């Protein structure tokens, strides 16, 4: 019965197109059309592209993805079952064509592209799945537009076959960033080629983008899956789309620049002073370009962005995040629901979690994301205990399960924010634990002043419950407890004092060994402050983090 309830509480949020689309996608596989390719369109000006990626091809037939190095030397390496699906996806993306110093690896790239065509027959294998196909089509087209003399008849024919096949395998059953990537690839193919068939690809791609932009980009500029990493990916996609239109002398839709500017505003608010994204939901460094890199790309395209200092309180109302900053301290708080109900694939159980930076030093963090898949470590990283928030009776605030599933999910039932002369205050409440005995409700209030942050948690209603509150620390921070129960936080680099932490329940405060996962394939040792105890509701706790004002 528990399993049935889990499936019901997951499937009931899906749209019919996702359910029936998945069935149709599995049962109906089109035959690849290998008829001659349309003629090529003329590139009227060099395409702009910002080389932000680190190289992944480290030798002609050796690649490194997600922290794992392996060979791409034989036909079977493209589909090796011993490697993770995400590693194989990366192998089929061909991101290295556009990585830093790609021109130095041009001969490697020409050989690898030729091998891919020979060793991955049309419609066969993981490389022909819609998502890797979409990314590869875009990468190949930008590469061909930037590099003279490499566009062989074999490569051009393969591109046409890939685009035709993709146009009949769109991921309507997944939606979200996958369908966006499909649409982007169709637009690229429609501009790269000329004629009736190419025009059909272009019209289909543009129609999908128009619909998906209205759906996926919220009024505050955030991407609706609520992951800073995927937000940056979609923002880079928009810049790529603007760039490819310019290269072929075509005008892009008139509203795209407004969308891009709104997205930059959201990205600014969700970026820490160290220049990297905040780690809410599925998020990791290195998968997407940084804000600085995206700004550089926009500048190359001639897009003017008004850069203004962040306000002391920034409300991202539609997406559900708050940014507070004052005298060098920056707090980013999650007061969001679990993304779109029909697409919580990249959601974590991180409701009312937060991250804190002092100047460019991260102090309190969320756990990050180092892997996908369906294993126990993936589930642990999605769970509440891996985030700087409160957990009740060992339950996640939202029922994350498998690799990308969520059953019952928390809802924000109240949220208030004020900025006063001497403090900034944000308070919110969610019902994620109301499914437990006594129907408990968790609320949290952050109060930021010139010299500290007070985090006040309250759990209301009835019953006795085991309560854990986690404050995960950056690996750059060392926590040491003094005799009076105060915890001093030091920078590991120079042993200087960053802040002192004081709990209203010092006898229930522990310093625990933990881990931080800022990149795929990376796990760094760290520490966490945990308040742990059994309490009869109502329960209240305050953690005060104090520092010297800047």
Q: What is the pLDDT, as a whole number, of residue 21?
A: 85
Q: What is the pLDDT, as a whole number, of residue 307?
A: 72
Least confident of 15-19, 74-78, 393-397, 411-415: 15-19
Picking from 5, 373, 48, 467, the residue whose alpha carbon sits closest to that of residue 239 is 48
CA 431 vs CA 320, 425, 437, 442, 490: distances in Å: 15, 21, 13, 7, 36
Residue whose structure tokens are 């194989």 = 88
Give the angle subtended at the CA of 164 by the CAs of 163 and 170, to the nearest 5°.
80
Least confident of 56-70, 132-146, 298-312, 510-524: 298-312
Q: Say yes or no to pLDDT of 1 above 80.
A: no
Class of residue 139 by CB neighbours under 10 A (exposed 0-12, middle 13-18, buried 19+):
buried
Picking from 79, 144, 159, 160, the residue whose alpha carbon sits closest to that of residue 109 is 144
Average pLDDT over residues 436-457: 97
Pairing of strands 464-473, 390-392: antiparallel
Q: Say yes or no to pLDDT of 549 above 80.
A: no
Pairing of strands 354-358, 390-392: unpaired
Average pLDDT over residues 78-86: 93
Average pLDDT over residues 76-95: 95
At the second CATH level, the architecture of 314-546 is: Distorted Sandwich (2.70)
Q: Say yes or no to pLDDT of 484 above 90.
A: no
Q: What is the pLDDT, as a whole number, of residue 20?
A: 87
Q: What is the DSSP letter of 517?
A: B
Average pLDDT over residues 459-475: 97
Average pLDDT over residues 2-28: 86
Please write the tens of the pLDDT for every residue from 329-338. Answer: 999 999 999 9
Average pLDDT over residues 275-295: 97
Q: What is the pLDDT, as a whole number, of residue 327?
A: 93
Average pLDDT over residues 32-36: 96
pLDDT band of 48, cuts 50, 70, 90:
confident
pTM recorded for the entire structure = 0.96
Q: Say yes or no to pLDDT of 176 above 70.
A: yes
The full DSSP string for 462-480 is SSEEEEEEEEEE-TTEEEE
Q: What is the DSSP letter of 265?
A: H
CA 335 vs CA 99, 315, 369, 410: distances in Å: 36, 10, 20, 11
Give the angle subtended at the CA of 154 by the CAs of 148 and 156, to the nearest 5°.
60
Q: What is the pLDDT, as a whole number, of residue 550?
A: 64
Q: How far is CA 236 from the centre of its chain?
A: 13
């Amino acid at each position: 019965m528990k399993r049935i309830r889990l499936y019901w509480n997951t499937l009931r949020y899906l749209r019919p197109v996702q359910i029936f689309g998945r069935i149709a996608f599995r049962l109906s596989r089109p035959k690849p059309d290998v008829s001659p390719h349309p003629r090529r369109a003329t590139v009227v000006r060099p395409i702009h592209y910002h080389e932000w990626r680190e190289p992944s091809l480290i030798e002609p037939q050796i690649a490194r993805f997600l922290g794992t190095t392996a060979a791409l030397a034989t036909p079977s390496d493209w589909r090796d079952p011993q490697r993770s699906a995400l590693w194989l996806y990366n192998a089929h993306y061909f991101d290295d064509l556009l990585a830093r110093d790609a021109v130095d690896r041009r001969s490697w790239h020409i050989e690898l592209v030729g091998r891919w065509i020979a060793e991955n027959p049309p419609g066969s294998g993981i490389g022909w799945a819609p998502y890797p196909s979409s990314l590869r089509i875009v990468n190949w087209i930008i590469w061909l537009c930037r590099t003279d003399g490499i566009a062989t008849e074999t490569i051009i024919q393969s591109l046409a076959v890939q685009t035709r096949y993709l146009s009949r395998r769109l991921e309507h059953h997944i939606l979200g960033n996958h369908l966006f990537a499909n649409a982007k690839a169709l637009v690229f193919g429609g501009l790269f080629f000329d004629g009736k068939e190419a025009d059909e690809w272009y019209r289909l791609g543009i129609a999908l983008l128009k619909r998906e932009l209205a759906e996926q980009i919220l009024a505050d500029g955030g991407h609706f899956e609520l992951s800073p990493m995927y937000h940056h990916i979609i923002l880079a996609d928009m810049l790529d789309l603007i760039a490819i239109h310019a290269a072929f002398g075509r005008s892009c839709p008139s509203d795209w620049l407004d969308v891009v500017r709104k997205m930059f505003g959201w990205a600014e608010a969700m970026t820490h002073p160290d220049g990297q994204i905040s780690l809410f939901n599925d998020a990791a460094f290195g998968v997407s370009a940084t804000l600085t890199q995206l700004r550089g790309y926009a500048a190359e395209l001639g897009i003017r962005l008004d850069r203004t200092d962040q306000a002391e309180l920034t409300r991202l109302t539609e997406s559900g995040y708050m940014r507070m900053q004052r005298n060098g301290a920056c707090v980013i708080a999650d007061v969001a629901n679990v993304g779109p109900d029909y697409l919580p694939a990249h959601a974590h159980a991180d409701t009312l979690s937060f991250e804190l930076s002092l100047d460019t030093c991260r102090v309190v963090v969320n756990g990050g994301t180092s892997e996908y898949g369906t294993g126990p470590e993936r589930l642990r990283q999605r769970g509440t205990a891996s985030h700087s928030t409160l957990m009740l009776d060992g339950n996640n605030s939202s029922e994350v399960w498998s690799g990308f599933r969520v059953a019952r999910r928390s809802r924000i039932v109240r949220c208030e924010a004020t900025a006063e002369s001497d403090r900034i205050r944000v308070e919110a409440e969610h019902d994620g634990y109301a499914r437990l005995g006594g129907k408990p409700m968790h609320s949290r209030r952050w109060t930021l002043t010139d010299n500290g942050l007070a985090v006040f948690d309250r759990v209301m209603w009835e019953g006795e419950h085991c309560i854990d509150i986690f404050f995960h620390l950056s690996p750059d921070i060392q926590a040491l407890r003094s005799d009076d129960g105060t915890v001093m936080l030091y920078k590991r680099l120079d042993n200087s004092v960053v802040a002192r932490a004081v709990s209203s329940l010092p006898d229930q405060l522990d310093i625990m060994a933990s881990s931080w996962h800022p990149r795929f394939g990376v796990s760094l040792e760290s520490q966490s402050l945990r308040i742990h105890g059994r309490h009869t509701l109502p329960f209240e706790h305050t953690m005060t983090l104090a520092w010297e004002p800047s």
